[in-house]
A and B are shown apart, each in its own frame.
Chain A
Amino acid sequence: MFTGKDHIQAAFKRTFTDRVPVRIWYAVGDGGEMPGATRKDVRTRGDKYAGYILWVQDRVRSDSVTVAAFDMVMPAEFAGGELGISTREVVDLARRGVPLLKDKTLFGRFKPADLMQGQRLPYYMEACRLVVEGAGDTAIDAIITAPWTTAALLRGEADLIYDTRDDPAFVHELLRFATEYTKTVGLKIAETGINMITLGDPSSGCSVISPKMFREWSKPYLEEAVRFLRENTGARICLHVCGKIDDILEDLINTGVEAISIDGPTSLANMVDVNRGRVVILGNIPTELFIEGSKEQLEEQVRYCIDTAAQESGFILSSGCTVPGTEENVIHTIRYAHRYGRYPLAGLN
């Protein structure tokens, strides 16, 4: 009997278990309200967040579960105590869509601080530790923000793009800060015993910046973070970029990551062709189908993904991005994928 961790590890080792690995991403709150905890509890208490993940996983049974250590407060905490801005104010700014560095002169007061003295990293680390304890037979993934996306969260995507032309020295400084942030968070999160770190980089996709801009501004810092995390942690390093990324697939593969998770708009067939077995591919059932799609549409996508990418090991069937849909659709998709993805693959024989 294989465990979820066995299935995921087989993809990385290019071996086989008895079926294709299946991972569906759940976002906080989308599995419904957990009895005994409010959504605020889940977002602020590590034990409640871990409890929530395990509560959902108990019914869903994905081969991998995810702790999403992805927020706007943690980079602000890393910026240090001399900002003169409280956590509550940072949260309020985030809610209104106002980036912390709307006024970029504030960057002069950034002095990297010990994140363990803040609130967010200890919260995520507690959640990771408890999920590792409670779901040890499942592969455990933590998403952290990659450098360009961290910089975009701090400065705002549009202003960061304008800055590349108006004030390139500032962008490099900000990216150096953001890279240190990614490395620091990844290193500490890996100490909890999780199996995989996913660098979430939605602001690096072709829906936001051009391939040229990615190569010039995002990729060098991403490569540095990947290299550091591969050398200094035992975790597998994965990359997820939202939206369409067909034009930068080769660049992403060359960053040194071991796995790339692609979103619904990117062509899985193209990814398989470009990749030629170099990295593990995770993807890419369109997330919107989990909201408005029928069971037949989800089954069709499961068949398409497996037929397209699972001929060899090194493929994990996954939702394209975090799933907003009903638990019923998620459970149906996973159960169907378990049947359709059983080796030898029926669709291929």
Chain B
Amino acid sequence: MIFDEIRKEVIQGDNRKVQELVTKALSEGHGVQDILQKALIGGMLEIGEMFIRQEAYLPEMLFASRAMQDGLKILEPLLVTENIPSGGKIILGTVKDDVHDIGKNLVGMMFRGAGFEVIDLGVDVSPGKFVAAVQEHNPDLVGMSSLLGTTMRYMKDTLEAIRAEPQGRSIKIMVGGAIVTPDFAAKIGADGYAPDAASAVIKAKELLQEK
């Protein structure tokens, strides 16, 4: 079955083979939604579960994400014409003074794969920039990441700045990063914490159901 082959190559992170197989699946008449959900996202979910079980590491996730994204590029023109509803809108960024974005980028790829609209503010994002983006885009969620002990304090500053805005009170705020713990997330008043990119999507969906 071609979907099994695509899933396997997503997990292996072979982006060229994924593109070939996605093209082949389309030529065989498989539906765009089926290829996306059963093959590409199916593969990402599988590697994500392996990551949660600590059977895979970040590089495997990165290679798989790239393979999924490259497969998605072939489907995107067709997806636009099908007018698929968004899973939600999330603003992402690493906090002030933190330029380590590998985890944040991976989270972004996972959210895009799960059908979210992702607004990536990049790195070293000040609380003011987060607030301005919230005002401009009116997201469902904000996700902040920090790798360093020296920068994680800005998560609290950013969270408070967003909450101080009327628009920001109903937005769910998630935090993550190698050094961030669930205790820390709870203490600063975040709505959610996720230890990795795959869990972040699951947590985000839970939070949005609460809204």
The residue from B58, B62, B124 contacting A207, defined by CB atoms under 8 A apart:
B58
In the complex, chain B residues whose CB is within 8 Å of the CB of A242? 147-148, 178-179
Do residues A206 and B57 form an inter-chain contact, with CB atoms below 8 A? Answer: yes
Q: Quick check: is A113 within 8 A (CB to CB) of the other chain? A: no
User: Contacts A30-B150, A162-B62, A242-B147 given: A97-B124 contact, CB under 8 Å?
Assistant: yes
Task: Type the 1/0 row for A295-336, where 1 means its CB is closer than 8 Å to any CB of B.
Answer: 000000000000000000000000111111100000000000
- Which residues on A sit within 8 Å (CB–CB) of B122? 96-97
| Interface-located stretch among A47-55, A102-110, A208-216, A231-239 | A208-216
Which of A157, A162, A165, A322 contacts B149 (CB under 8 A)? Answer: A322
Q: Give Cα A292 to B175, complex, Å.
A: 15
CB-nearest residue of chain B relative to A244?
A: B178
Known: A243-B179, A288-B180, A292-B184. A96 touches B150 (CB 8 A): no
Of the 9-residue stretches B34-42, B93-101, B129-137, which lies at the interface with chain A? B93-101
Which of A208, A287, A325 is packed against the most chain B CB atoms within 10 Å? A208
* A324 in contact with B102 (CB, 8 Å): no
Q: Determine how close the nearest CB of chain B comes to the CB of A66; give it in whole angstroms.
A: 13
Q: Does A286 contact B (CB under 8 A)?
A: yes
Check if B60 sits within 8 Å of A210, measured CB to CB.
yes
1/0 contact trace for A200-222 toward B, CB 8 Å? 00100111111101000000000
A158 engages B62 (CB within 8 Å): yes
A210, closest chain B residue (CB)? B57
**0/1 per residue, B139-153, Cβ < 8 Å to A?**
000000001111111
Contacting pair A209 B58 (CB below 8 A): yes
CB contacts (< 8 Å) of B178 on chain A: these are 205, 207-208, 242-244, 265
B149, B153, B156 interface centre (most CB from chain A within 10 Å): B149
Nearest-CB distance from B122 to chain A (Å)?
Answer: 6
- Is B99 in contact with A208, judged by CB distance below 8 angstroms? no
The answer to whether A291 and B179 have CB atoms under 8 Å apart is: no
A96 touches B63 (CB 8 A): no
- Residue B203 lies at the interface, judged by CB distance under 8 Å to chain A: no
Report the nearest B residue to A324, measured CB to CB. B150
Interface flags, A160-195, vs B, CB<8A=1, else 0: 011011000000000000000000000000000000
Q: How many positions in chain A have a CB within 8 Å of any CB in the partner chain?
A: 40
A338 nearest CB across to chain B (Å): 23
Q: In the complex the two chains form, what is the Cα distance from A287 to B146 in whole Å?
A: 13
- Contacting residues, chain B, for A272 (C-beta < 8 A): none
A76 to chain B, nearest CB (A): 15
Chain B: residues with Cβ within 8 Å of the partner, total of 35
In contact, A286 and B181 (Cβ under 8 angstroms):
yes
Tell me whether A161 and B59 are in contact in the complex, defined as CB-CB below 8 angstroms, given that A243-B179, A288-B180, A321-B149 are known contacts: yes
- CB pair A209 B150 closer than 8 Å: no
Q: Is B53 an interface residue (CB 8 A)?
A: no
| Min CB–CB distance A110 → chain B (angstroms) | 21
Q: Give A97 to B102 CA distance when docked, in angstroms.
A: 11
Chain B residue nearest to A208 in the complex (CB): B58
| Docked-complex contact B149 and A210, CB < 8 angstroms | no
| Shortest beta-carbon distance from A164 to chain B in Å | 8
The answer to whether B101 and A97 have CB atoms under 8 Å apart is yes
Chain B 144-180: CB-based contact to A (< 8 A → 1; otherwise 0): 0001111111001000000000000000000000111
CB distance from B150 to the nearest CB of A (A): 4
- The answer to whether A97 and B123 have CB atoms under 8 Å apart is yes
Contact A322 to B148, CB < 8 A, known contacts A96-B123, A97-B94, A158-B62: yes
B188 within 8 Å of A by Cβ? Answer: yes
Q: How far is the CB of A283 from chain B (nearest CB, A)?
A: 13
Closest B residue to A243 using CB positions: B178
Q: Is the CB of A288 within 8 A of B57?
A: no
Residue of B56, B62, B102, B181 near A288 (CB, 8 A) is B181
Q: List 24 contacting pairs A-B, 8 Å CB cutoff, sorted by A.
A: A27-B150, A95-B99, A97-B122, A97-B123, A157-B100, A157-B102, A158-B62, A161-B58, A161-B59, A162-B63, A207-B58, A207-B178, A208-B58, A209-B57, A211-B57, A213-B59, A242-B148, A264-B179, A265-B179, A288-B184, A291-B184, A292-B156, A321-B148, A322-B149
Chain A residues engaging chain B, CB cutoff 8 angstroms: 27, 30, 94-97, 157-158, 161-162, 164-165, 202, 205-211, 213, 242-244, 263-265, 286-288, 290-292, 319-325
B interface residue numbers (CB < 8 A to A): 13, 56-60, 62-63, 66, 94, 99-103, 105, 122-124, 147-153, 156, 178-181, 183-184, 187-188
Which 10 A-B pairs have CB atoms at the shortest separation, nearest pair first?
A: A97-B123, A287-B149, A210-B57, A207-B178, A97-B99, A243-B178, A324-B150, A157-B102, A321-B149, A292-B187
Give 16 A-B pairs besides A95-B124, A288-B180 with Cβ atoms closer than 8 angstroms: A95-B99, A96-B124, A97-B123, A158-B62, A161-B59, A165-B13, A206-B57, A208-B178, A209-B59, A210-B57, A243-B147, A265-B178, A319-B149, A322-B150, A323-B150, A324-B150
